[in-house]
Amino acid sequence: MKILVINGPNLNMLGIREPDIYGRTTYESVCGKIRDYAAENGVEVEIYQSNHEGDIVDKIQSAYGKFDGIVINPAAYTHTSVAILDALKAVSIRAVEVHISDVNEREPFRHISYAGMACEHHIIGHGVDGYLEAIAYLAGAGS
Ligand code: DQA
């Protein structure tokens, strides 16, 4: 099974960025945790991060026919991007939405998730372990 993990803007700043909200684990260590977990569970994983909406759309499109699942934390684009929603719908790859923080307990503008409308499962507020849970979900849920 091949899973693409996509992270949106400012997630490359994990560890530095608002540690009270996002924790002190750096983006590099999060990627390490994901890679180790995937290897232990026989999953092939590619990790991608971009601060640019169009690049994320391109990456989702390029996953068509190549990946069995997408784990996506679109970060701020969660709450604004119909383009990312449409790209997920276009490729029709099973997708899981991850948010490190509990967006539903934060500002009202974070309560709407466009990308989440194309995701079959949502892991919200479980910290960086949410990425591992999302991989476990996709690997375990009948593929
Ligand atoms: C986030 C929540 C978003 O509202 C925010 O813009 C992010 C990170 C999270 O993982 O908790 O950048 O997606």
111 belongs to the catalytic site: no
| Atom 3 of ligand 1, residue of closest alpha carbon | 75
- In the chain, the amino acid numbered 116 is G
pLDDT digits (tens, 9 = 90+) for 65-91: 999 999 999 999 999 999 999 999 999
99 belongs to the catalytic site: yes
- Per-residue confidence (pLDDT) for residue 141, from 0 to 100: 58
- Reference 134, options 24, 57, 27, 47; nearest CA is 47
Mean pLDDT of the chain: 97
For the residues 121-142, what does the mean pLDDT come to? Answer: 93
For the residues 109-134, what does the mean pLDDT come to? Answer: 98
Could you give all domains of the chain from N- to C-terminal order, each with its CATH number? 2-139 (3.40.50.9100)
Mutation test of ligand 1: which of 10, 102, 103 has the most ligand atoms closer than 8 Å to its C-beta? 103
CA of 127 to the centre of ligand 1 (A): 11
pLDDT digits (tens, 9 = 90+) for 23-70: 999 999 999 999 999 999 999 999 999 999 999 999 999 999 999 999
What is the model's pTM?
Answer: 0.97
CA of 123 to the centre of ligand 1 (A): 12
CA of 28 to the centre of ligand 1 (A): 17
